[in-house]
Amino acid sequence: MKPEDIIKPENKVYSRPRLLNDVNTHYCPGCSHGVVHKLVAELLEEMGVEDKAIGIAPVGCAVFAYNYIDIDWIEAAHGRAPALATAASRLNPECLVFTYQGDGDLAAIGTAETIHAANRGENITIIFINNGIYGMTGGQMAPTTLLGMKTATTPYGRNSELNGYPLAITDLLARLDGTCYVTRQAVHTPAAVRKTKAAIKKAFTNSLEKRGTSIVEIVSTCNSGWKLTPAQSNQWMVEHMFEKYPLGDLKNVEHKA
């Protein structure tokens, strides 16, 4: 008996999104990236926009996003995704342009590009994975690393005198006239996943309707970097990250100013 004999299409309640390539990912087990990738792939398919979507991949763990979601992608230099997205969007106004960036990419080396793209009100969606650490390079301090949090470059814990304070950059972005939708979500529970999906859908819709810049921050786990199990990571995120980065909409208006 083959699997096809048992698994009949009419009985299937869930399957891999068509746009998600059938390949092994390089993400660690328990990492939030996989869930968010799946949501992006599902939404592009459900909204029927995969043929006019342009994704901008960052430098960091999501650098290979283009290997996993079968749409057109440009791989940016570290932090520059919003600059690429600006040009891609302005030169191709019929396309849905989104960036997918981590905290180091968006809130450290790419702070200027992020703030100015949002301040110009570029009609793009920024998906921002905030796990408080540099995953790809081996767990160094990120701008969003919490005080006291141990990383490869803050082995004794982040110290505000030495390293400054965790940067809630989304709070800043919400105050800019160019943004129309700024929200902070997570993907640690089925309910949170559904909320995040709705948030990304709203952001994509805003971009298609030229309402201004939409930013979906997703407070995420990095169990390898945090040196915790996936389950412990989720718990640690709820207990520590959400205090500095509380979930919910920071801004939700019809149109940029």
d(CA 188, CA 184): 13
Q: Residue 99: what are its φ and ψ, rounded to 5°?
A: -105, 155
Nearest to 204 by CA among 97, 106, 114, 116: 97
Least distance CB 171 / other proteins (angstroms): 20
d(CA 101, CA 183): 15
Q: 96 in helix, strand or coil?
A: strand
Least distance CB 118 / other proteins (angstroms): 11
Nearer to other proteins, 76 or 182 (CB): 76
The single residue among 7, 16, 46, 92 that binds other proteins, judged by CB under 8 A, is: 92
Least distance CB 160 / other proteins (angstroms): 28
Burial 107-122 (b: 16+ CB within 10 A, else e): bbbbbebbbebbbbbb
d(CA 170, CA 182): 7
Site string for other proteins, 93-112 (x = CB under 8 A): -xxx---------------x
The single residue among 43, 84, 133, 136 that binds other proteins, judged by CB under 8 A, is: 84
Is 85 near other proteins (CB under 8 A)?
Answer: yes
Stretch touching other proteins by CB under 8 A, among 78-86, 141-149, 174-182, 191-199: 78-86
Q: Which residues bind other proteins (CB under 8 A)?
A: 50-54, 56-57, 63, 66, 69-77, 80, 83-88, 90-92, 94-96, 112-113, 116
